[in-house]
């Protein structure tokens, strides 16, 4: 029986939570094709595979490729590993969550293997037909892919996280030739924060260019911490240097779909909306009553943030105390 293979990411010896929706999407594809679901763990240390296999996630098998060149991540080395896994396991479909990692390495692998790739899938219509947004989310396209091998990436905000199930066996794939092709990672800067990751938070509070300067984000941080959420920003705010680029929400940033999204001083350009309009409840605060953000907001307040936010924070404090 052919397979649907999901490429997973791990950190600190554990599966990264954002991979779970990609497993769900792959399981839907596997069920539609009548095929088995298999998982692939890559890294310099693939010890996390044992815990992943114990949870199973509906997979028939968990496979590992272990090589020092796979950490830190480079698209070149990971593409080599994926290609070797494909040649060894002969899956019909390969994919996973549309993270920055898989957005980088899977197109390379697909190109080398001369296989089509359907990116940013938001729904599985059948075993070979997927729905994805186009034109910055203005329209949806049902895309039919064909061939003995196809690749996909799935938007994590559009699929439920996979649930644990029966345990699956683990097997190592040997003989991989992995190389970075001269690419060298000279350093990794991590943002240390006690807040949840943007893509995993149930509440996101984002600020835009209307915040004017980075110091003004302090009031957003206060609100974020009261709500136990994550801090975000529009591209205009990150480009202006108000906050770090890894807080960017939008088409060219992170795609989020929290239970609550609060947009402050964000006009609502289509590129930003593409990254957050899947949120369950959207609250917008903007002084411009014509701002596009109000078209997608469930609740909107036309007001200056300088006047609205202090009172908002005060009311939240009274509620949570």
Known binding-site residues for FAD equal: 209, 234-235, 248-252, 286
What is residue 187's three-state secondary structure?
coil
Q: How far apart are CA 40 and CA 8, in angstroms?
A: 6
Q: What value, to the nearest 5°, has the Cα angle with vertex 310 and ends 306 and 311? A: 115
Q: How far apart are CA 58 and CA 24, in angstroms?
A: 9
Strand partners, 8: 41
**Residue 116: which residues within 8 A CB-CB, separation 6 or more?**
110, 145, 146, 147, 150, 151
How far is Cα of residue 31 from the mean position of the Cα atoms in its chain? Answer: 23
Q: Can you read off the two tokens belonging to residue 147? A: 């061939």
Find the helix or strand (DSSP H, E) in which 6 lies: strand 3-8
Residue entry with tokens 């990692």: 101
Output the 3-class SS for 153-177: EECHHHCCCCCCCCCCCEEECCCCC
Residue entry with tokens 């206060």: 222
DSSP H helices in 90-240? 100-112, 217-227, 235-239
In DSSP notation, 44-60 reads: S--THHHHHHHH-TT-S
Q: How far apart are CA 114 and CA 82, in angstroms?
A: 14
Strand partners, 134: 139
């Amino acid at each position: 029986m052919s397979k649907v293979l999901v490429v997973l990411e791990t950190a600190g010896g554990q599966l990264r939570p954002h991979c779970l929706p990609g497993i769900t999407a792959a399981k839907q594809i596997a069920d539609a094709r009548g095929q088995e679901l298999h998982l692939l763990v890559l890294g310099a240390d693939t010890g996390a595979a044992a815990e992943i296999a114990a949870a199973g996630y509906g997979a028939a098998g968990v496979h590992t490729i272990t090589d020092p060149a796979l950490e830190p991540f480079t698209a070149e080395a990971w593409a080599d590993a994926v290609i070797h896994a494909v040649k060894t396991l002969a899956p019909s479909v390969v994919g996973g969550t549309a993270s920055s990692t898989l957005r980088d390495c899977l197109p390379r692998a697909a190109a080398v293997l001369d296989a089509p790739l359907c990116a940013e899938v938001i729904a599985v219509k059948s075993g070979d037909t997927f729905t994805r947004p186009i034109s910055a989310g203005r329209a949806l396209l049902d895309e039919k892919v064909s061939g003995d091998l196809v690749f996909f990436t799935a938007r994590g905000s559009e699929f439920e996280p996979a649930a644990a199930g029966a345990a699956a066996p683990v097997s190592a794939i040997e003989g991989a030739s992995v190389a970075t092709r001269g690419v060298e990672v000279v350093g990794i800067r991590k943002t240390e924060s006690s807040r949840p990751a943007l893509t995993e938070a149930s509440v996101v509070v984002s600020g835009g260019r209307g915040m004017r300067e980075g110091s003004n984000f302090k009031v957003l941080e206060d609100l974020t911490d009261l709500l136990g959420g994550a801090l975000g920003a529009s591209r205009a705010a990150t480009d202006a240097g108000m906050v770090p680029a890894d807080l960017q929400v939008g088409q060219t940033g992170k795609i989020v779909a929290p239970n609550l999204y609060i947009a402050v001083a964000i006009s609502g350009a289509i590129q930003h909306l593409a990254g957050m309009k899947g949120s369950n409840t959207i609250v917008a605060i903007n002084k411009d009553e014509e701002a596009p953000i109000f078209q997608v907001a469930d609740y909107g307040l036309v007001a200056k943030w300088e006047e609205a936010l202090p009172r908002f924070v005060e009311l939240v404090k009274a509620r949570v105390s």
